Amino acid sequence: MKRIEKVKSYTIATLMLSFGIHLITYLALFLVNNEKPAKVQDTIEFVVVENTPQPQEQKIVQQKKKLETKDIQVVEQNEKSINDEIPEDQFFLSRKNQTVKEQTKARHHGDFKNDAGKGQNGKAKQDKAKKKKMANKKRKKAIDGVRLKNLLPQHSYSSAKNFEVNEATAGQRSQSNDYLKGIKEGKQTVLNTREFVYYAYYERIRGKIRKYWEPVIKDKVKHVFETGRKLASVDHKTAVVITLDKHGSLVNVQVRDGSGVRDLDDAAVEAFKEAEPFPNPPDGIIENDGKIRINWNFVLEA
């Protein structure tokens, strides 16, 4: 009897021990399965992608920026250009695209004419022009955004002693009224030019201004000498800013940089007041406020 009870006691102890072990194992597994894993930090990679223009597009952007920030002179040109090549650097704006080996200017002053023959600069490079034709069309876009107010149209006239032009010889020579400082004199005026979309409107303004400025400046110079004064042997430049409304009527004309001689500055202001209006301006030069602003230089060359 005692043996049986002893066996029962041993069996019960064994079962309890086994139950305890299983309970501990279960709890351990439960805790392990329910333990929150360590939080893994998400790695976010930022890649900066620059919108870098392609080489050709970048050149167009640079050219356009240059045109919008730099004063570029507009010059007169023949109806037909020597070629259709767009110059890269050191160029003027004009009627057509043109690239020459050497820039020259006619030695005589007067209404624009090129009657001295084409010479070596007149030989067109047709084969090269064809190769560049497609590229030129793309680069031409750089000119379309030019604002007229950033230009420096300039005029050049001979000194006070030589205002009167011999009409008999004027028709038989090359001549120009553009102020081309630093350009070598030659048989005719041939320059590196880029086509300017507003050239026609600019030329209409120049044509009207010339009719009034020439007689006025003659009177002013005459007055200077009659009053015992002298003009220094330097080029006298009067820079004015004209403001037009959207119809081309003059709103204001102001001297931005004087020549140092009040009479010459007055001649520039009076010329614009007499010559206005300048009707039918192209929409592209009208600014957001409905005004047109143009920088214009008058030069009396010594």
Tens-place pLDDT, residues 118-146: 444 444 444 455 555 665 555 554 444 44
Q: Which two tokens stand for residue 102?
A: 């050497």
pLDDT tens column, 274-299: 999 999 999 999 999 999 999 999 99
Across the chain, what does the average pLDDT equal? 74
pLDDT in tens, 90-112: 899 999 999 999 999 998 888 88
Going 71 to 77 to 82 to 83, the CA torsion angle's sign is: positive
Q: Which residue has the higher pLDDT, 45 or 297?
A: 297
pLDDT 10s digits, 187-240: 999 999 999 999 999 999 999 999 999 899 999 999 989 999 988 888 899 999
* pLDDT computed for residue 58 by the predictor: 59
User: Would you say residue 1 has pLDDT above 60?
Assistant: no
The pLDDT of residue 143 is 46
Q: Could you report the per-residue pLDDT of 6-28, keeping only the tens digit for each?
A: 545 655 555 565 555 555 555 55
Q: In this predicted structure, what is the pLDDT of residue 95?
A: 92
Domains (ranges, CATH) in the chain?
Answer: 52-196 (no CATH), 198-302 (3.30.1150)
Q: Among 57-61, 119-123, 182-186, 264-268, which is the least confidently predicted range?
A: 119-123
